[in-house]
Structure 1
């Protein structure tokens, strides 16, 4: 299993960022849509497999099991070459620092990949809601226990009240962007598929198990919860608890998606990108 040195990883990351910025807009959007859907696949899986775990094994084990399966989405993205905004927050600046690329090109990549991610995440949220969370019964469309878990997740992640709540979401998102980009770097570190998968898995698992905020994950799971919520029975709403009252599209955008997106960008740009480039720039250019 071959291994790249830290400065070689950064150099390869910079080359990857420069290549991504050279892609036409439609291609970035297409790859971004694929990445949003792939993240949704891993995110939906973590909700399904963790349903009921907290009752029997405790909240910590629930979070750990969610973390075990979530990396599926990031593995699919790295190995298939899809375009994830969170990773571009680090790779595009690497290219700008190393090759003096235009920052206008960096912003273009960020905007297009983010838009594609949101479209792909929302599209997969609709598939999960209509195909997994809601079922046809004798009394019409009914929500199952997976829907209760999804709505619970969505309600919890919309419950960041006031300025300090939003600050908490922002700080969690910085940590998420940092960890996820370390996963991307470890994926670059190895040359074989097994090495890439192992490298990606540990930081991505830690990100979810710790409860950090990843905007593209939330862009799939919270809308899925919002779409499933109207079909919940009174007893199912009671299972979600009082936080169900916080679930709304406006809370999704203002209390989660916006601060989480900015935090992910800061985590990738500053903590995974700028710090590493400053630390190893002499080795890169020697």
Structure 2
């Protein structure tokens, strides 16, 4: 009897050792799986849509203000840099500060909800059209107003040295060069907008995947550096640049910024975020999505 009891105890000890080894060898993941990220997008989209209008609009104002801070920081970091690679890297890192503040604070950015809200709608039945359109329009207007108000405060502060404004003019020329190509240039901005929000959608994807603050900032920075370096037209980012441009430069008028850049870029952003990120991943991981969004 004793020998049998000893054998059983030995077996129990071995099982405990095996369990311990498995625990040690398989640490918990520090990121969400893609299907979980799509779930999270849908949850965020639903939460934004169901907020009171005052909360939606205030968060849109906040997101727009962060875009101007990001634009200003990207210009400041690039002043005096001659090497193109370093110039693009620093400029992109500067703007990623604005996006990090948006993603982490929960502010409502038009180009982010182009990813979040479709992820919710693709996984539920019925479209609440009136509230959706109201939300999209209010977020866009709120972003513009927030971006412009911060630009006004910055101009009133008189904080920047004279070297800032020539650098800002270079950025504006880079953004508005498509205007010289007429109708072709308008559609080039639209296609560039598709690419831009594809990248920003992936920034939201990587940021949502990360489960700590460092991972979220790094996940934001990589796609943002790419879209800034490639001069892809992102309407929310351009709101920050153009708000400063309207106040500091007379090279372009406000309606030229809107008609020849923001309008086609915004259309492209909607296509890029909704189709190339939200729709694509929603259907790719349809069988893995386990939330009750569509039920």
TM range (shorter): 0.7 to 0.9
Residue 222 (str. 1) matches residue 242 (str. 2): yes
Deviations 1:64-103 (A, max 9, x none): 2201221101111111111111110011011111133524
User: Hey, what does 1:210 align to over in structure 2?
Assistant: 230
TM-score for the superposition, normalised by structure 1: 0.85
| SS of corresponding position for 1:159 | helix
d(CA) in 2 for partners of 1:165, 1:259: 10
User: Hey, what does 1:159 align to over in structure 2?
Assistant: 177
| SS of corresponding position for 1:98 | coil
d(CA) in 1 for partners of 2:75, 2:147: 15
Deviations 1:186-239 (A, max 9, x none): 111122212211211111121112211111121121231232125xxxxxxxxx
Residue 107 (str. 1) matches residue 112 (str. 2): no
Question: Does the Cα contact within 8 Å between 1:183 and 1:201 map onto a contact in 2?
Answer: yes
User: Hey, what does 1:237 align to over in structure 2?
Assistant: none
- Which of 54, 60, 70 aligns to 2:95? It is 70
User: Hey, what does 2:163 align to over in structure 1?
Assistant: 145
d(CA) in 2 for partners of 1:188, 1:41: 22
User: Hey, what does 1:168 align to over in structure 2?
Assistant: 188
* Alpha-carbon shift at residue 36 of structure 1 (Å): 0.6
Question: Does the Cα contact within 8 Å between 2:199 and 2:224 map onto a contact in 1?
Answer: yes
User: Hey, what does 1:15 align to over in structure 2?
Assistant: 43
- Which of 257, 274, 280 aligns to 2:285? It is 280
RMSD (Å) for aligned C-alpha atoms: 1.8
* Alpha-carbon shift at residue 156 of structure 1 (Å): 3.0
d(CA) in 1 for partners of 2:220, 2:128: 28
Distance 1:97-1:9 versus aligned 2 partners, 3 A rule: same
Distance 1:129-1:109 versus aligned 2 partners, 3 A rule: same
- Structure 1: unaligned runs, 5 residues or longer: 136-143, 231-243
Deviations 1:161-193 (A, max 9, x none): 301111111111111101001111111112221
d(CA) in 1 for partners of 2:133, 2:282: 19
Question: Does the Cα contact within 8 Å between 1:151 and 1:229 map onto a contact in 2?
Answer: yes
Instruction: Count residues in correspondence.
Output: 260
d(CA) in 2 for partners of 1:64, 1:192: 24
- Structure 2: unaligned runs, 5 residues or longer: 1-28
Question: Does the Cα contact within 8 Å between 1:159 and 1:255 map onto a contact in 2?
Answer: no
User: Hey, what does 1:259 align to over in structure 2?
Assistant: 264
d(CA) in 2 for partners of 1:151, 1:229: 7
Question: Does the Cα contact within 8 Å between 1:29 and 1:113 map onto a contact in 2?
Answer: yes
d(CA) in 2 for partners of 1:158, 1:126: 22
Question: Which of these two proteins has the greater Rg computed from alpha carbons?
Answer: 2
User: Hey, what does 1:24 align to over in structure 2?
Assistant: 52
Distance 1:132-1:214 versus aligned 2 partners, 3 A rule: farther
